[in-house]
Chain A
Amino acid sequence: MIVSDLSTAGVSRRLGKGQLFLRTGPFISRIQTSIASIQSGIALLYAGFPVYDDAPFADFHVALERPPNLRRWFRPQVTFKFDGWAPFKPLPLNQAFAMFEWGMNWCVVNHAHRYLVLHAAVVERNGCAMIMPAPPGSGKSTLCAALVSSGWRLLSDELAVISLATAGLVPLPRPVGLKNQSIHVIHQRYPDATIGKAAHDTTKGTVAHMQPPAESIARQQEEARPAWVLFPKYTPGHALELQRYSKAQSLLKLVENAFNFTVLGKQAFDCLGQVIDDSDCFTLEYSSLDEAVSQLNALEIPAPCA
């Protein structure tokens, strides 16, 4: 059963009772919420994901609630709870869906040390994965959305999940977060893309999410080999420029973007060393998405992945 097999009312009812078990990548989350914007967001943006009415075991038990205080009346808020405990402060209610997404990331980052987890987008073609670690504002998510709308498979938009045992990339597809102008850009370029309701005035500006392609969800159990590490940078008016980047520097940057490098210690160092060994490393400066996508489509597959 997938989410879209259920009616919108059916999704809401299950969420209200805390009876919705959603599978994303290797994880099952039991979600409880009565907040309408999250219910409709899940129904729309997670439409293709597997869902269970009752699973004996859930990796994460999460709830999104409106805190029971006076603010509820004049400035409504939302709290994210992990098994009854609120790890962070409430946010304004209009950011509820974004908070759900951030909370789901938090669950993985804090409880999945079986994997090395990086702050990076991961896309794949022909079984070869491209890891794109990048700071906010670098256009990483826009490029990721453009690539997955042009035939690349989405492994993850925010979290690169790497198996310590195989150094393979584990898919964790979820809706792609878009910020500010990129919401409009993606909407214009790909009119068929399904984009959810925008939340304004978040700490990250205006945020909306794009539904991942059906094929990415259908193949969410299928790992990919690391092949490229790409540091993209969007610079308006800049001519396309793809350059080889030092492997040692690339490793240092991956370490900077790793959430649990210090937790895993030597295993993380070995694993990232393997990723860098097997990957070609580049920086990409671009202003035209078309040019960037066709440049990346033309990348040669490195020998270890071929």
Chain B
Amino acid sequence: MRVEKPLVVQVVNNIDLLFSLNLAQWDLFIRQARRANLLSRFSVTLRDQGRLDQVPEQVRTHLESECHLADQQKRVIEWEIGRIREALDTVDLPVIFLKGAAYVAADLPAATGRRFSDVDILVPKSRIREAEQALFLHGWFAEKLDPYDQQYYRTWMHEIPPLRHAQRRTVIDVHHAIVPETMRLHPDPEKLIADTYATGDDERLRVLAPADMVLHSAAHLFLDGEYQNALRDLVDLDQLLRHFSVQEGFWDALYRRSVELELSRPLYYTVCYLVKLLETPVPASLREKLQLDAPGGFAGFLMEKLFDEAVTIHHPSCSGRFSGIARWVLYVRGHYLRMPLYLLVPHLLRKAFMGNPETA
């Protein structure tokens, strides 16, 4: 049975659709897009196209509001990029930005109206203490976590606990790998660091190489166990692929790198979903090669069902009957992939006890 895609997904594929909406459809669109964390993106896109004044007045209030938030975010991130550079410069470390901050630093189309709350950076594991110390001296402190969470982060996660700036309240996540250490997949962070490039004249402001950026985003989406922003993350990936694929040999490089970094499985999922949901132009040759890495039989079928449920917006107008359960199972799976089995139970029990697993 073919289910009609949610309105917000249809608009990702074709923004012109917005101009055929009646007011009631606009109402639904704004609510879905806001919940999917995509309203800023659509708003800024319309503004950049000079088409905000073609939108009904009541609707424009909300789109303009989102444009203001997006502009602020861009200002703040550009400012913080300079401050982080200044801090890490004192210990002679370049700044390697990841995810949203990287899209802004490299001025990629994926940065358009992209909303995010933290600045993610990558630091070699051997230098993580120095980096933390330098950031501390410039006003970033580890948030108060209970000892259990502190240890969880430091031992099993691929990042140290988030650092929040005492005055400006901005948050930095310092990573030393792009997936947790205990995962059965081990993309080597040294390889990633070796291939980073400077975003401009300043050699100290760097981002991952195009293929690595895509693979990191894919790994984050399909291995982390957090699916609240799944559609937003897929839109990022769609934008990255459309942008980078203009480069000669990009698709081959992407496949080779996915094998080298042991990330061909999440890339497979990514490509499946992008083609299915967002009609991303991925060459058939890549899809065939990745098919070899696809999970088979019942596991594959179940996985697809679960992701289908997870990769929709969490708005009442889109939720299937079981999507709450499906998201929880995915959360468990995300943690299973991340930790040796004996570690799984205590953390989950605790999270389940302390709050709703969907938001934990």
Contacts and interface: CB of A to CB of B under 8 A. Distances in A.
Say if A and B assemble together.
yes
A114 B315 contact: no
Interface string B55-84: 010111110111011011001000000000
Contacts of B72: 262-265
Contacts of B220: none
A84 interface: yes
A72 B75 CA distance: 45
Contact of B65 (A56, A114, A262, A267): A114
Given A59-B61, A83-B31, A114-B61, A263 B315 contact: no
A61 B161 CA distance: 36
Contact of A84 (B23, B60, B315): B315
Contacts of B283: none
Contact of A83 (B34, B58, B68): B34
Nearest to A266: B75
Interface string A4-27: 000000000000000000000010
A267 B68 CA distance: 10
Nearest to B56: A57
Interface in B287-318: 315-316
B31 A111 contact: no
A83 B71 CA distance: 25
A28 to B, nearest CB: 8
A114 B56 CA distance: 15
Judged by DSSP, the binding face of A is loop
A293 to B, nearest CB: 35
B85 interface: no
Interface string B1-29: 00000000000000000000011101100
A285 B23 CA distance: 49
Nearest to B66: A113
A59 B315 contact: no
A58 B69 contact: no
B333 interface: no
A58 B26 CA distance: 10
B257 interface: no
In which size bucket is the chain A interface?
Answer: 20 to 34
Contacts of A58: 27
B35 interface: yes
Contacts of B316: 83-84
Given A56-B23, A57-B24, A57-B27, A111 B68 contact: no
Interface string A108-131: 000111100000000000000000
A57 B26 contact: yes
Interface string B333-344: 000000000000
Contacts of B26: 57
Contacts of A26: 61
B31 A59 contact: no
Contacts of B61: 26, 59, 112, 114
B31 A263 contact: no
Interface of B: 22-24, 26-27, 31, 34-35, 56, 58-62, 64-66, 68-69, 71-72, 75, 315-316
Top 4 closest A-B pairs, CB basis?
A56-B23, A113-B68, A113-B65, A56-B24
Interface of A: 26, 28, 56-59, 61, 83-85, 111-114, 260, 262-265, 267
Given A56-B27, A113-B68, A265-B71, 19 more contacts: A28-B58, A56-B22, A56-B23, A57-B56, A58-B27, A59-B58, A59-B61, A59-B62, A83-B35, A83-B315, A83-B316, A85-B35, A111-B62, A111-B65, A112-B61, A113-B64, A114-B60, A263-B68, A263-B72
19 contacts: A28-B58, A56-B22, A56-B27, A57-B56, A59-B58, A59-B61, A83-B31, A83-B34, A83-B315, A83-B316, A84-B315, A85-B35, A112-B65, A114-B61, A260-B68, A262-B72, A263-B72, A265-B72, A267-B68
